[in-house]
Amino acid sequence: MQKNFELLTTDRHSKARCGRLTTAHGVIDTPAFMPIGTQGTVKAVTPRELREMNAQIILGNTYHLFVRPGLDVIKHFGGLHNFMNWNGPILTDSGGYQIFSLANLCKITDDGVEFQNHIDGARAFISPENAMEIQAALGGDIAMALDECVPYPCEYDYAAQSAEMTTRCAKRCKEAHAVILSEVEGSRGTTSAVSQRDSSTSRRSARNDSGARQLLFGIVQGAAFEDLRKQSTQAIVDLDFDGYAIGGVSVGEPEEEMMRAVESAEPFLPRDKPRYAMGLGTPPQLLEMIARGMDMFDCVLPTRLARNGTAFAAAGTLNLKNAEFALDKNPIEENCTCQACREFSRGYIRHLIKAEEILGLRLITLHNLHFYLNLMSRARTEIESGTFDQFRKAFVAEYKTRDAITVE
């Protein structure tokens, strides 16, 4: 079978790696940051702007899109790529995390979860099989297996049972995904015209015109327990996915526990598959995760913090609402090549935020995403030059934001 991931460089002083992941809609250089497009949009940014800042992949939230606008609308437009006019790679999450955190849960059995959505209260049911169907209909390049992300803190017995359920779920996702791919493969030989109303259209999205199939990543759980992390990793790896995610991290645990959870799982992950640390983190945390062998990241911080006036910089975050910036003619960050820094001053952006002008949050969002993407690009260069470890230590030492705990 064709290899989707190529490991290019491994750092000698840490577990950092550079790789290249090939998907139906393009190549992703790792380490990679994935901006989050919760509602089919990376908030306040157009796909053109994402391309200009060299975002190679974005994340779509299955639950949100399933609830609104709903699959019928997205299928009508020929899948999520066409609907939002982003032609690069998309990773869709399974929707499980939002079902557990946002929806009103009605019934959980081994078959699946029945819930009422948080928008209009309509009831829906999600099983491992239809989590795969929904993601095939969205047509993302990478789908995620359904898992249960346990809250923090979590009792050992509950975490153990939950990790086992996640494994059973992952097995069913793998099987259902294989069936979808084989049906798509079968229909490709016999169908020439693409009809948006054809009942197999959603499944055809699982393999786009380039012929590359949708990849499926498994998710490791196990909460803060080293033995559970190991068992979960081995069980999920045995199922042979295209890549592996570490879930249940960045759920409110202290940073040392988060690092330990990743360190407990990493030795059992195959070297020749991409590793995705879910839902993190601050810039120093991303570098620490890269040093621990992780390749892919997604985080709401750059877009969420932008909306309250917080910008990322090498020295830590800046709250542009602060009075100290009122007369500041400097850009958010010196030498930053983003649109906001090339064209506008801190003082002006502060004014926009204080006046609640939309442009203010747009400019900070552009800067913050650029900062995260640029950090990954810099990490790749440093890994390739064999200087990643010095770079990481210097960056972490320089980054002064108090609420971002630094490691080592």
Residues known to be catalytic: 93, 298
Cα separation, 87 vs 81, in Å, equals 6
Distance CA(255)–CA(280), nearest Å, equals: 11
Q: How many chain residues touch Zn ion (CB under 5 A)?
A: 4
With CB under 5 A as the contact rule, the residue among 341, 349, 373, 383 that binds Zn ion is: 341
Q: Which stretch binds Zn ion (CB under 5 A): 117-125, 160-168, 179-187, 337-345?
A: 337-345
Which one among 28, 160, 286, 336 touches Zn ion, defined by CB under 5 A? 336
- Kindly state the smallest distance separating residue 49's Cβ from Zn ion, in Å: 13
Q: What is the DSSP letter of 213?
A: B
Measured from the CB atom, the residue of 294 and 311 that comes closer to Zn ion is 311
Stretch that binds Zn ion, among 160-168, 189-197, 321-329, 359-367 (CB under 5 A): 359-367
Residue 304: CB minimum distance to Zn ion, A: 17
Single out the residue of 59, 338, 369, 396 in contact with Zn ion (rule: CB under 5 A). 338
Minimum CB distance to Zn ion, residue 364 (Å): 9
Q: Applying CB under 5 A, which of residues 25, 207, 367, 392 lies at the interface with Zn ion?
A: 367
Burial annotation 304-342 (CB, 10 A radius, 16+ → b, else e): ebbeebbbbbbebbbebeeeebeebeebbbeebebbbbe
Beta bridge partners of 316: 313
Nearer to Zn ion, 115 or 399 (CB): 399
- Shortest Cβ distance from residue 311 to Zn ion (Å)? 8
Q: What is the DSSP secondary-structure string of 290-348?
A: HHTT--EEE-SHHHHHHTTTEEEETTEEEETTSGGGTT--S-SSTT--SHHHHH--HHH
Q: Does 369 bind Zn ion (CB under 5 A)?
A: no
350 or 367: whose CB is closer to Zn ion?
367
Nearer to Zn ion by C-beta: 192 or 335? 335
Q: How far apart are CA 171 and CA 241, in angstroms?
A: 10
CB of 369 to Zn ion, least distance (A): 10
Ordered alpha helix ranges (H), 194-225 = 201-204
In the complex with Zn ion, the residue whose CB is nearer, 131 or 349, is 349
CA-nearest of 100, 30, 65, 36 to 251 is: 100
Q: Cβ-count burial of 211 within 10 angstroms (0-12 exposed, 13-18 middle, 19+ buried)?
A: exposed
Interaction site with Zn ion (CB under 5 A):
336, 338, 341, 367
